[in-house]
Amino acid sequence: MTAQIELSDVNKHYGAYHALKNIDLAIRKGSFTALVGPSGCGKSTLLRSLAGLESISTGTLKIAGEVMNRVPPRKRDVAMVFQSYALYPHMTVEQNLTYSLRIRGTPKAEAKKAAEEVAATTGLSHLLGRYPRELSGGQRQRVAMSRAIIRHPKAFLFDEPLSNLDAALRVHMRKEIRALHDRLGATSVYVTHDQIEAMTMADHVVVMRAGVIEQQGRPLDLYDKPVNKFVAGFIGSPAMNFIPASGGVDGHSLILELSGRQHVATGVPIAPGKKVTLGLRPEHVTIVPRGEGIIEVPVAIVESTGSTTYLTTATLPELVVVLNGRAHISSGDVVGLDFASSQIHLFDADTERRL
């Protein structure tokens, strides 16, 4: 399968600041790729480099097999969709949609027909005569997407397109964008700082930190096998619990530094004395009666949404446990925690790499 977009050893400097570091990334034709990471990690810089709104300092960027390093934005044949929508306020929806065609010399009737076709796909047919100020946030977002679609670009580039919408509409629009992507057979690159958005929408997730790609792969592969503590803590909600630990003398147990030293048999082979961090996802811990679990902990906080209960322990570090449904547990109770050794993640305490 050929890559629609390919970056090889790409670096970007803003003056002395090194914003993208040795980026290697192949974006498959027809794929939905999410770029995710904390604020300032370089997501927008990477996306804007694809669009040509930033020039890369070194390395090679190819789109559909052609080197794009020096090609201006309008000749790259990619379309950006921004958080701010960037609609023309004095133009109707139809005029917003046809503008890019008209400036390229497309005859009026042909542009109108194209706008009607796109509007039918995105559910805007009845709104073509309205102005942006007469639309809801979700409808404006749809106009912004339609304006990208009408050009039949080689790729769609989204930069946090849903962050101005309320929670319910955001969840709805995620599905709508993904369905549209599938229907058009598009190639999409989608920037978000929301890992749930990345996990649910994308088939390829790229996790960035401080200008570096920390890990990339299928969403559940990142969840199951994070390569380091950073990715482990970033992917998954609530976040993975981390407990400092070291290897026991028998070579297959752990001593947890959890409100004092606790020896636990984990069945995981580990060198005696080796300093590690134990990672345990909140959803992989079960509550058992006192005396029956691997460890015993006092409960500090119990929160229930009805469908899910979250427990926070009164330990150092504190642990979060997620349970389905309701739990008959109160703050101050002491409970046993159990977990399968197959669901333990171990990281080197110094390098933070997965062991």
Ligand X SMILES: Nc1ncnc2c1ncn2[C@@H]1O[C@H](COP(=O)(O)OP(=O)(O)OP(=O)(O)O)[C@@H](O)[C@H]1O
User: Of the candidates 189, 197, 195, which has an alpha carbon nearest to the alpha carbon of residue 148?
Assistant: 189
CB of 243 to Mg ion, least distance (A): 33
Using CB under 6 A as the binding rule, whether residue 50 contacts ligand X is answered as no
**322 to 341: interface string for Mg ion, x by CB under 5 A:** --------------------
Q: Judged by CB under 5 A, how many residues of this single chain contact Mg ion?
A: 1
Which candidate, 138, 124, 193, places its Cα nearest to that of 166? Answer: 138
Name which of ligand X, Mg ion, none residue 193 binds, using a CB cut-off of 5 to 8 Å depending on partner kind: ligand X
Q: Which stretch binds ligand X (CB under 6 A): 1-9, 41-49, 142-150, 283-291?
A: 41-49
- Rule CB under 5 A: is residue 4 a binding residue for Mg ion? no
* Part in contact with ligand X (CB under 6 A); list of ranges 38-46, 148-156, 228-236, 240-248: 38-46
Is residue 133 within 8 Å of residue 122, measured between CB atoms? Answer: no
Residue 192 binds ligand X, judged by CB under 6 A? no
40 lies in the site for ligand X, by CB under 6 A: yes
For strand 32-36 and strand 188-192, is the pairing parallel, antiparallel, or unpaired? parallel
For the chain, helix (H) and strand (E) counts, in that order, are 8, 20
Of 10, 19, 27, 79, the residue at the interface with ligand X (CB under 6 A) is 19
- Of the candidates 32, 43, 63, 93, which one interacts with ligand X according to CB under 6 A? 43
Q: How far is CA 272 from the centre of its chain?
A: 37
User: For residue 171, what are the CA distances in angstroms to 45, 84, 202?
Assistant: 26, 18, 14
Q: Which is nearer to Mg ion, 91 or 212 (CB)?
A: 212
Query: Residues 4, 31, 44, 96: which binds Mg ion (CB under 5 A)?
Result: 44
Q: Are 56 and 33 in contact (CB under 8 A)?
A: no
Closer residue to Mg ion, CB minimum distance, 44 or 253: 44
Q: Quick one: which of 13, 21, 193, 209 contacts ligand X (CB under 6 A)? A: 193
Q: Does 44 interact with ligand X (rule: CB under 6 A)?
A: yes
Closest CA to 173 of 215, 145, 148: 145
Q: Does 234 bind ligand X (CB under 6 A)?
A: no
Distance of alpha carbon 146 from alpha carbon 190, whole angstroms: 16
Residue 4: CB partners within 8 Å, gap ≥ 6?
A: 27, 28, 29, 30, 31, 63, 64, 154, 155, 187
The length of the chain, given as a count of residues: 355
Paired with 324 in beta bridges are 308
Does 17 sit near ligand X (CB under 6 A)?
A: yes
Minimum distance from residue 241 beta carbon to ligand X (Å): 25
In contact, 279 and 229? CB cutoff 8 Å: yes
Nearer to ligand X, 191 or 278 (CB): 191
Q: Judged by CB under 6 A, does residue 155 bind ligand X?
A: no
Q: Of ligand X, Mg ion, none, which one does residue 272 interact with (CB within 5 to 8 Å by kind)?
A: none
Residues that bind Mg ion (CB under 5 A): 44
Residues that bind ligand X (CB under 6 A): 14, 17, 19, 37, 39-45, 193
